[in-house]
């Protein structure tokens, strides 16, 4: 495998338009697809100019490189056939090997002009820890927002990563810069639901511990950016406060028996799943 990721052969706004076109085409068929990952964060932060400025100032992979390497979407496995028809109608080529072996949980398609590829995850993200979206169209977490997954699920998507890298920490920093952390957003799609995250992890010590570690790492990287003059102190203060609010919620939520039992074992045994990436 190459040591460096290949990047999307499109400008950021053009790439977002392509992603939205896929989501819209699926919606026209009654099929749920939502944007995950960095492009989802970018889409959800466009109304906050300082978020986009931080992305451009620090970069995700490194300074001066494009922001995006591919497009990640989430869908429901029960709509797998309809998802395939959406991409076929849009002129995408399926990866027959990956789709044949893993089609109940993941699908891969290639843009007809070879500008990018698309990973479609089904029902859940299943990496270091699970992030569940439900199985029933109309009654799952994909219905909370559009064209992206919810901000809360974006946070969980990043917090679950065991060996978290720079780009995912940058994504967390941008998320906290642009969005409030609230105990209960009450339908506010621009707020991170700390109550949901805390309650979800209160019965999963491994995911809880991973999240606390990754929040600490995001704060450390933020400190580096401030010291290097790449993020101003007032931005950093806002981010620090919101990280702290989520950490406080994670600590305060009453823990379940399963959490308590696993906490006694701690890091003496692995608390995460080893992830083997599919080689394309």
Is the pLDDT at 1 greater than 70? The verdict is: no
pTM of this prediction exceeds 0.75:
yes
pLDDT at 4: 46
Q: Percent helix, strand, coil in the chain (nearest 5)?
A: 50, 10, 35
Q: How high is the mean pLDDT of the chain?
A: 94
Longest CA pairwise span in the chain (Å) = 53
Q: Domain residues of the chain, as ranges?
A: 12-268
Residue 189 CA to residue 136 CA, distance in Å, equals 21
Tally of CA atoms within 13 A in the half-sphere of 18 that contains its CB: 26
pLDDT tens-digit series, residues 165-200: 999 999 999 999 999 999 998 889 999 999 999 999
- Paired sense of beta strands 106-110 and 117-122, if any: antiparallel
Is the pLDDT at 79 greater than 60? The verdict is: yes
Q: Stretch 46-64: mean pLDDT, rounded?
A: 90
Q: Is 191 helix (H, G, I), strand (E, B) or coil?
A: strand
Task: List C-alpha distances in Å: 219 to 46, 74, 170, 225, 238.
Answer: 23, 28, 10, 10, 12
pLDDT at 277: 53
pLDDT at 95: 96
pLDDT at 65: 79
pLDDT tens-digit series, residues 189-239: 999 999 999 999 999 999 999 999 999 999 999 999 999 999 999 999 999
Q: Residue 34's pLDDT band (boundaries 50, 70, 90)?
A: very high
**Chain centroid offset of residue 183 CA:** 20
Q: Which residues pair with 49 in a beta bridge?
A: none
The DSSP symbol for 116 reads: -
Q: Stretch 256-264: mean pLDDT, rounded?
A: 98
Q: Residue 8's pLDDT band (boundaries 50, 70, 90)?
A: confident
Residue 53 structure tokens: 């400025």
Residue 77 CA to residue 83 CA, distance in Å, equals 9
Closest C-alpha among 114, 112, 87 to residue 99: 87
Q: Residue 62's pLDDT band (boundaries 50, 70, 90)?
A: confident
pLDDT tens-digit series, residues 127-149: 999 999 999 899 999 999 999 99
């Amino acid at each position: 495998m190459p040591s460096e990721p290949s990047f999307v052969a499109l400008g950021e706004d053009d790439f977002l338009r392509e992603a939205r076109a896929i989501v819209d085409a699926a919606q026209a068929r009654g099929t749920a697809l939502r944007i995950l990952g960095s492009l989802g964060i970018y889409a959800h932060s466009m109304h906050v100019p300082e978020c986009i400025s931080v992305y451009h100032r620090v970069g995700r992979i490194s300074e001066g490189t494009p922001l995006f390497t591919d497009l990640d979407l989430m869908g429901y496995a029960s709509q797998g056939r309809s998802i395939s028809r959406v991409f076929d109608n849009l002129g995408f080529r399926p990866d027959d090997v990956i789709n044949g072996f893993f089609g109940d949980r993941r699908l891969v398609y290639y843009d007809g002009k070879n500008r990018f590829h698309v990973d479609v995850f089904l029902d859940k993200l299943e990496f270091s820890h699970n992030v569940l979206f439900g199985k029933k169209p109309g009654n799952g977490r994909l219905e909370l927002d559009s064209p992206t997954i919810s901000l809360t699920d974006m946070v969980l998507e990043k917090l679950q990563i065991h060996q978290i890298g720079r780009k995912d920490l940058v994504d967390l920093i941008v998320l906290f810069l642009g969005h409030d952390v609230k105990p209960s957003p009450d339908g506010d799609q621009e707020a991170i639901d700390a109550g949901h995250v805390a309650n979800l992890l209160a019965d999963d010590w491994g995911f809880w511990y991973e999240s606390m570690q990754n929040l600490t790492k995001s704060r450390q990287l933020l400190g580096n950016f401030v010291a290097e003059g790449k993020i101003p102190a007032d931005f950093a203060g806002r981010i620090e406060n919101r990280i702290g609010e989520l950490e406080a919620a994670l600590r305060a939520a009453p823990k379940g028996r399963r959490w308590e039992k696993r906490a006694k074992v701690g890091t003496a045994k692995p608390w995460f799943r080893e992830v083997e990436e599919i080689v394309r």
